[in-house]
Chains A and B, each alone.
Chain A
């Protein structure tokens, strides 16, 4: 168990190392001149040299990389080229919106995906199974931004045209100020995220359950005289938890690094929207910061998932 965890930690370190190397390398092969981005078009050569010295851009690349990493470990990711604010602060300001979006999304997609998967697996080949499979196929095929735009049209614009506000067009309202307003503003983003992701969970649950329900221990549970409901939920679904947790970990990690498309459509000022803005502004420290944050989330959720295995699966606890 310890050895396994150490191995996983090593892999996590490798992910972070590769990502930091990747963004740093990008930074230096990049054609643009950072000093020019900061100083603007009218800057003189002397000003550009001054800025390069201030940023340490005239130092050898390995030295810059080392300095960058040792600062990043302490949470210092440098300053934005555009408004000279610390990158860490800019990113931290954006985290509540992204986290709110992901939490609600996860709850809704689990509530939609797992029951559909169970329903589908309980009646293989039947009408309900076909409905479930149809949902899975549609969810897997629907591009997120198409669903987002359509739902804005139907649930925001059409009611608005009819004279009332069913849901707002988006924007993030802090949870602490008013949880109800918060949830109201996030409902459409949550549902969009949930509907496109639920299909993955429905498919996973269905496939795994169909497989598991043919196993010997299910027959044993049935022959003990347990009700079908107990067999299904306590024995069948129990073992489905492991693959579900794996998938959930990967999805949450990816989204926390910025639910780029959904934030963009619903005007949520989250981490992903920050990344898109930074790309449009050529504000490289922010891009680097967001990519590293994404890597950090992946590493952390990987470790959490590994620990959860130990809780869920007795075979791991040795």
Chain B
């Protein structure tokens, strides 16, 4: 028998790298794949908003008083000219929706990335240095977490006036703490591990250990928690815009569109003004939440029980004197 050294197709062992395994786990999760497709489609819509503008021939801020408003001055229901109807000023809802996606995605992603970066930096310092630094930074996180954020946002906006930059700033300021806490706990346990000790005994300094040894181990919580932060940032921005404190009109944003619909309760006679932006907002947050769950399960199959026990420890600590 000469074929003993030859591997027959049946016995071939396929080696799969961690990336491929993750991809396989992720693609098996149908809900996550749909969520990802939805998000990608949304990004395409946001980028191609000018194309939609061209296709309909309607500008997002132009008021079409002759065709876009009924004789009584009411919004026009979805029809051939206005696929998703018009708003109280006779503006085309579908074009505004597409441009609004830009605001939501931009604010959501930018604010989440910035908050993740701050949370990561502060969490790593608190977790790695420990001692008094840790205590001060942890108290700071507690403090930010227990402040009534919407009220403070109101106060800030009332003084400085609403703007896109201020919205992002406020969102970042109040959302970095979640990431900070998670990273702090993670680093706190990682820094006692042998590979860190080995690195230190080879003469590595604290910065090098943090960036080259610890940081790569944090990729899973960073990816998962940043994804999970995006929907809350989007809703936060929409809420600010809804209260008239976020994006300045006439720039279209989903929260602003809903605010327009709510003034004088105009949406009661024009359901499309609340259903389309409302559903856009809901499906976007839903998609990001599902994606976050799916990424966590795919990146770290053990994550669920670990996460729970960590939560338990935290609750236990809070209960102890």
Contact = CB atoms under 8 A, between A and B. Distances in A.
Interface of A: 1, 3-4, 11, 14-15, 18-19, 22-23, 26-27, 29-32, 137-138, 140-146, 149-150, 152-153, 156-157, 169, 207-208, 210-211, 242-243, 246, 250, 253-254, 257-258, 260-261, 264-265, 275-276, 278-280, 282, 284, 287-288, 290-291, 294-295, 298, 302, 309, 313, 315-316, 318
The dominant DSSP class at the A interface is helix
Contacts of B258: 145-146, 149
A291 B262 contact: no
B177 interface: no
Nearest to A214: B305
Given A15-B143, A298-B148, 6 more contacts: A137-B286, A169-B265, A207-B308, A211-B309, A253-B146, A275-B154
Nearest to B234: A143
9 contacts: A15-B147, A18-B147, A143-B282, A146-B274, A149-B262, A210-B308, A250-B146, A265-B262, A275-B151
A32 B161 CA distance: 10
Given A260-B150, A291-B151, A150 B318 contact: no
Closest 3 CB pairs of A and B: A294-B148, A279-B158, A146-B278
Interface stretch (B9-17, B105-113, B191-199, B239-247): B239-247
Given A138-B286, A276-B243, A291-B148, A149 B271 contact: no
B154 A1 contact: no
B156 A254 contact: no
B281 interface: yes
B141 interface: no
Contacts of B311: 207-208, 211, 243
B285 A143 contact: yes
Given A141-B282, A243-B315, A316-B319, A287 B289 contact: no
Interface in B266-298: 267-268, 271, 274-275, 278, 281-282, 285-286, 289-290, 293
Contacts of B151: 257-258, 260, 275, 290-291, 294
Q: Which of B159, B238, B308 has the most CB of A within 10 A?
A: B159
A190 B14 CA distance: 56
Interface string B217-239: 00000000000000100010011
A149 B308 CA distance: 35
B315 A242 contact: yes
Nearest to B284: A141
Q: Give the size category of B's interface with A.
A: 35 or more
A244 to B, nearest CB: 10
Contacts of A264: 243
A27 B160 CA distance: 11
B321 interface: yes
Contacts of B150: 258, 260-261
Nearest to B239: A261
B85 to A, nearest CB: 15
A104 B113 CA distance: 37
Contacts of A18: 143, 147
Contacts of B160: 30-31
Contact of B154 (A146, A242, A260, A318): A260
B320 to A, nearest CB: 7
B155 interface: yes
A22 B278 contact: no
Contacts of A250: 146
A270 B258 CA distance: 21
A101 B318 CA distance: 29
Contacts of B319: 242, 309, 313, 315-316
B147 A19 contact: yes
Given A4-B321, A309-B319, A291 B261 contact: no
Contact of A261 (B155, B243, B281, B282): B243
Contact of B155 (A26, A31, A153): A26
B140 to A, nearest CB: 10
B312 interface: yes
B24 interface: no
A298 B147 CA distance: 8
B157 interface: yes
Contacts of A309: 318-319
B212 interface: no
A316 B155 CA distance: 38
B159 to A, nearest CB: 4
B139 interface: yes
Contact of A257 (B139, B148, B158, B282): B148
A291 B282 contact: no
B142 interface: yes
Nearest to B149: A254
B320 A315 contact: yes
Contacts of A156: 268
B274 A150 contact: yes
Contacts of B156: 26
A250 B285 CA distance: 23
A286 to B, nearest CB: 10
B43 to A, nearest CB: 18
Instruction: Choose among B148, B160, B315 the residue with the greatest number of A CB atoms under 10 Å from its CB.
Output: B148
B34 interface: no
Contacts of B286: 137-138, 141
A23 to B, nearest CB: 6
A149 B262 CA distance: 8
B239 A143 contact: yes
